[in-house]
Structure 1
């Protein structure tokens, strides 16, 4: 992991430019765990994703190859599309893609805010490295803005099962290297 997981001025510029591919690629270079899926969703050329995985640290990629991470990205996009419909969004395929991008931008904005808060509040063991709970909370916040039910976030599919059990059971599938949630007080107002 690099020295700092802080959101850089360049990453803030990428967000302002709505350049999700560059934002998540930059986070990927810092070995930010959620960047694996973020980059896989927003990369424009799958060969770039293949290259990032095959030349990257196998431990960071959880010893899983391109097919695994591409499947994770595709299933995330499908979940978002279905979640938008469940929340009342009706649009063409093109309009749905645009709405998914708007959701993606809000997720990235919330991610940046939570990384900032992680440093400020000294949460967990590694500054800027988020826990499964922090990631679930900011995804839920972004989803709420689009009326997407929280269960459409892949980390908390089963609303009737407590999140802690879900995280313990299958959190390693997408974040084997997340931080602890020690000191995390939950969603800020």
Structure 2
């Protein structure tokens, strides 16, 4: 069993707003959601490619760089569209900064959810979040920016219950999430 707890160093990285190093640390622990987090915030596509090539193929769902790069890019698009739906109007540079603010909020909520998972002994493995837990903290973080919940990649369709969507689409980004809440 891997120690998925949030380390003091990871808390410090969040306090420093260093999303790249925070998600790299989570990636090295094989936190499932870190695949997208690191893909979003690493300095270059080559950094992501290197982590995939050198990493455990099972952790990466035996999917290569093009797949995970697409997942990261589509996440940025979803957040940007969500911000626009929320009324954000800004330049490309302003949109990048706002997406980064959202990313920082999501990272904090991820850390809090992992800590809550440990404290409440939820699921089958401490610190391993379920798709439902991940969806919930994304919705909370997004709401702080007025971003609609359907901007989260696991719950695109407002008319379809989230549980169904997470079952249908959740394995696209989290084949190894906890199966229980």
> Is the pair's TM-score, using the shorter chain for normalization, greater than 0.5?
yes
Measured against aligned partners, the alpha-carbon deviations of 1:42-77 in whole angstroms (never above 9, x if no partner) come to 001211111100010000000000000000000100
Deviation per CA, 1:83-107: give whole Å up to 9, x if none: 1000011110000000000000000
Distance 1:82 1:146 in 2: 12
Following TM superposition, the consecutive aligned residue runs of length 4 or more in structure 1 with deviations greater than 3 angstroms are: none
CA RMSD across the alignment: 0.8
Q: Which residue in the other structure is 1:56 paired with?
A: 55
CA distance in 2, matches of 1:105, 1:36: 16
Unaligned runs of 5+ in 2: none
Residue 111 of structure 1 is matched in structure 2 by 110
Task: Output the CA distance in 2 between the equivalents of 1:91 and 1:55.
Answer: 38
> Partner of 1:153 in structure 2?
152
Classify the secondary structure of the residue corresponding to 1:96.
helix
Aligned residues: 181
In 1, Cα distance between equivalents of 2:53 and 2:102? 29
TM-score between both structures, scaled by the size of structure 2:
0.98
> How far apart are residue 165 of structure 1 and its match?
1.0
Gapped runs of 5+ residues in structure 1? Answer: 183-189
Q: State how far apart, in whole Å, the 1-side matches of 2:10 and 2:77 are.
A: 26
Secondary structure of 2:25's match? Answer: helix
Aligned residue for 1:22? 21
- 1:79 CA displacement: 0.8
Query: Retained in 2: the 8 A contact 1:134–1:181?
Result: no
What's the TM-score, normalizing by structure 1? 0.94
Compute the displacement of 1:181 (Å).
2.9
Between the aligned partners of 2:148 and 2:25, the Cα distance in structure 1 is: 29
Distance in structure 1 (CA, Å) of the matches to 2:64 and 2:127? 26
